[in-house]
Amino acid sequence: MHKILIFNIFILFTLGSYAQHQQDSVIQQVLQNNRMLQALTQSTQADKQANKSGIFLQNPEAGFNYLWGSPEGLGNRIDWHVTQSIEFPTSYVFKHKMATAKNTLADAMLKSEEKNLVYETKLLCIQLTYLNARQTELNKQWVNAQKIVQSYKTKYDIGEANILEYNKAELNLLDAQQEMSLNEIERNAALSRLATLNAGNPLVYTDSTFGVANIPADFELWYSEMAPQNPEINEWKNETQLSTLEHKLAIAQTLPALEVGYMSEKTDVDQFSGLSVGISIPVWQNVRKIKSAGMKKDAVQMLENEKTIALHAEAYSLYQKAYTLNRIVNDYRQKMSSINSTELLLKTLERGEISLIQYITEISFYNEVRNKQLLLEKELHETLAELGRY
């Protein structure tokens, strides 16, 4: 069931080199080890067993009487009987259908929790991909900052640079070091959360590249194919089906119930035995039950319709967001791939064509744009992950 769920989620997008193999491996491990999911699975199985109770005949009843006769010479009497109550046959049909509907609903709710777990795990993988990519960029900045400090230390020693320039180089290096430390804190926090989902077992995640996201051209076609597999939609449909069956059962329970059995009566001189038949007419017990069940059925159907419409609107909004983000990300990728400001600025500084303060200003701007690109890629894939829940 886990593999089927994962396939249904990821069939939406082919993400190229988007860390798919490692991400799938992480998700499979979490699904296998997550304690909360294990507890919910066991609880669901217990609920499904409980749903099957109460759908058969009521327990038979047996009675025994020993009566002393009076006056004394009259003798004693022994009575015993066995009876079985039987509701109108359609009641058992609807009870069986209701048990099946409840079990289907329980499975849909479990799948919904599974899908939420996959979504949370996927978000952590996306966060780690961003932090890994960010760490790579910060490491480049740190290496370049070290080179600049060494260069200005040499220039300062021979009198070609003043103490202010050397201090600026040192501060630039310090800033690079601190940015790396802060990024590592976030990375460790994400890995810790991932380990928590994996029952405390640490997981390795090293991917640092966001791949190309291929978004379906036709939203309505995609949605029509994915909707029948959506656990939430199935959950709402099952609730509607269950409320309809409850209404039908309420009607069936207004029909007469039978009580059949065998009884025997024995005295000192004679004995009687034979069948016992009774009828129960539900005059008072279910007076408002049918009306209540009917109102509930109508309310549940209205809620299903409203939730289905809202879900479609939310999915379409996410689709539009993903489409726009993908266009922006592609623009950034195309432009940034043709620019290598880091190496160019460093060489320009080494040749003395710009001052250190100009270098720091320009490289800060370039790093800011590069980080914005990574953040947009992260947001794009988070949007795709959220859309994949539908």
Q: How far apart are CA 104 and CA 369, in angstroms?
A: 50
Taking Cα atoms as reference points, which of 29, 34, 38 lies closest to residue 3? 29
Phi, psi of 218 (to 5 degrees): -115, 105
What does 299-344 look like in DSSP terms, one character per residue? HHHHHHHHHHHHHHHHHHHHHHHHHHHHHHHHHHHHHHHT--HHHH
Residues 6 or more apart whose Cβ sits within 8 Å of residue 238? 101, 104, 105, 108
Helix then strand count (H, E) for the chain reads 10, 4
> Whose structure tokens read 């408002």?
288
Instruction: Report the chain's C-alpha Rg in angstroms.
Output: 36
Give the tokens for residue 329.
Answer: 């990300």
To which H or E segment does residue 173 belong? helix 163-197
Please answer whether residues 209 and 17 qualify as being in contact, where contact means their C-beta atoms are separated by less than 8 angstroms: yes
Taking only the tens of pLDDT, the chain with its 390 residues reads 333 333 333 334 443 344 477 888 999 999 999 999 999 999 999 988 888 877 776 777 888 887 787 777 677 788 877 877 777 777 777 888 888 888 888 998 999 999 999 999 999 999 999 999 999 999 999 999 999 999 889 888 888 888 998 899 999 999 999 999 999 999 999 999 999 999 999 999 999 988 778 788 889 998 888 888 888 888 888 889 888 888 877 777 777 777 777 787 877 778 878 887 777 777 666 667 777 888 888 898 898 899 899 999 999 999 999 999 999 999 998 888 777 777 788 888 888 888 888 888 888 898 899 999 999 999 999 999 998 887
Domains of the chain from N-terminus onward? 2-54+88-254+288-387 (1.20.1600.10)
Please answer whether residues 40 and 139 qualify as being in contact, where contact means their C-beta atoms are separated by less than 8 angstroms: no
Give the tokens for residue 270.
Answer: 């004679």
Q: How far apart are CA 207 and CA 20, in angstroms?
A: 9
Taking Cα atoms as reference points, which of 93, 75, 112 lies closest to residue 238? 112
